[in-house]
Amino acid sequence: MPTIKDVAREAGVSIATVSYVLNNKPDAVSEETRQEVWKAVKRIGYTPNVTARNLRSSQSRLIGYAWHQVPADQVNPVLDQFTYFLAHYAEEAGYHILTFAQSPENPLPVYDELSRSGRVDAFVISGTNWGDKRIGFLQERAIPFVSFGRADPGWDFDWVDVDGASGTRQAVDYLVSLGHRRIAFAGWDEGSLAGTHRLAGYTEGLAAAGLPLLPQWIFRGYQNELSGSAALKQYLSLPEDERPTAVVTVSDLVAIGVKNSAEQLGLEIGSDLSIIGFDDSPFSQYLNPPLTTINQPVKQIAQIIIRILEEQLIKSGQPRDFVHELVAPKLIIRSSCGTPLTQRNI
């Protein structure tokens, strides 16, 4: 592999001059020699060595992103798309993504090792929740990072998040517009931050429509199919006139749970019961009937995260305000909510 030295010899100049040309330093080299150097570069097929460059500038131009292991029975609905776009925008900004495996019980040592050794310049973290240890850890050590997801209200750090409440709010508004008046919510447990946001949008939507909210309409479970079935069982145990005609769920997976057990009980999705999911997982469109759900704008989020990271890395050291961006998700209407109630012949 040719080095800068070879280029210098070939062009008959010093290596300093070559470096100036390569880095487009203005007013440092005459137009004539600039041309000569470029010609030499082309002639011997030179590409600068990234490692040497990084050593000199004490950076790595690598951004670490932890790849969360998902239990085999779970889907990580949007993380693969997110990673793709993250890589895409990072490359536009002259960085690359280093993906690493993060241990669920004890994530900190990997972050420590990667930053201490100079492997990465910054991190993108996701899958945050209340009390996320990584945030305090990274802040304490002044390691640049941006989070996809919020954490404790008192903590101040750079984050970008999907406005979950807006998503469920849109779902409720849509159901109301179809004529539904008894709308349930199948959510996650109290320990989930994202689950809390999504629940809040639901509550807000009912209130805005002037609809009552029965406590039995709110089911709290986990990220699995079973929670969906359990939610449905709870709803069906209610007296006829309190029984919900539609369910907003906290995720597509829970929506599937509701849907599958409803079908097994002979209910028809879209007429007997309307269902709205959350995530727009790739498979949601292939369900029968296709699932109406909330699409997370992961592409946009990846773009914003890289933008904020660039700012952080450029202004490192200098005081800077923390950035918080909430991006609205979008309701994707498919047929799991059927037609407006008023147009049905019941």
**Where on the chain is the footprint of a copy of itself (CB under 8 A)?**
1, 47-52, 54-55, 58, 60, 62, 67, 69-70, 73-76, 79-81, 83-84, 87-88, 91, 96-101, 113, 116-119, 225, 253, 256, 259-260, 263-264, 281-283, 285-286, 288
Q: Check if the beta carbon of residue 92 is closer than 8 Å to that of residue 307.
A: no
Candidate segments 17-25, 119-127, 190-198, 215-223, binder of DNA by CB under 7 A = 17-25
Q: What single-letter amino acid sits at 263?
A: E
Sign of CA dihedral 163, 165, 166, 168: positive
Cβ at position 62, least distance to a copy of itself in Å: 7
Nearest CB to DNA, comparing residues 13 and 78: 13
Instruction: Give CA–CA dist 302/225, Å, rounded.
Output: 29
Nearest CB to DNA, comparing residues 57 and 318: 57
Using CB atoms within 10 A of its CB, is residue 311 exposed (0-12), middle (13-18) or buried (19+)? middle
Candidate segments 28-36, 167-175, 237-245, 288-296, binder of DNA by CB under 7 A = 28-36
15 binds, among DNA, a copy of itself, none (CB under 5 to 8 A by kind): DNA
Over the window 54 to 83, marking each residue x when it contacts DNA by CB under 7 A and - when it does not, the resulting string is: -xxxx-------------------------
- 16 in contact with DNA (CB under 7 A): yes
Nearest CB to a copy of itself, comparing residues 38 and 155: 38
- 28 in contact with DNA (CB under 7 A): yes
Q: Coil, helix or strand for 124?
A: strand
- 95 in contact with DNA (CB under 7 A): no
Q: Check if the beta carbon of residue 165 is closer than 8 Å to that of residue 196.
A: no
12 binds, among a copy of itself, DNA, none (CB under 5 to 8 A by kind): DNA
CA distances from 163 to 68, 145, 172, 237, 318 (A): 22, 20, 15, 32, 30
Nearest CB to a copy of itself, comparing residues 80 and 156: 80
Report the Cα–Cα distance between both ends of the chain, in Å, rounded.
77
For 124, residues 6+ apart whose C-beta sits below 8 A from its C-beta are 63, 64, 65, 86, 97, 145, 146, 147, 148, 305, 309
Cβ at position 275, least distance to DNA in Å: 56
Instruction: Give CA–CA dist 341/346, Å, rounded.
Output: 9
- 27 in contact with DNA (CB under 7 A): yes
Which of 30, 35, 45, 28 is closest to 11 using CA atoms?
35
Nearest CB to a copy of itself, comparing residues 209 and 313: 313
Instruction: Give CA–CA dist 222/335, Å, rounded.
Output: 25
Q: Coil, helix or strand for 18?
A: helix
Q: Check if the beta carbon of residue 124 is closer than 8 Å to that of residue 146.
A: yes
> According to CB under 7 A, which one of 15, 200, 213, 267 is a site residue for DNA?
15
Nearest CB to DNA, comparing residues 26 and 153: 26
62 binds, among DNA, a copy of itself, none (CB under 5 to 8 A by kind): a copy of itself
Q: Which parts of this chain interact with DNA (CB under 7 A)? A: 1, 3-5, 12-17, 19-20, 22-23, 27-30, 32-33, 48-49, 52-53, 55-58
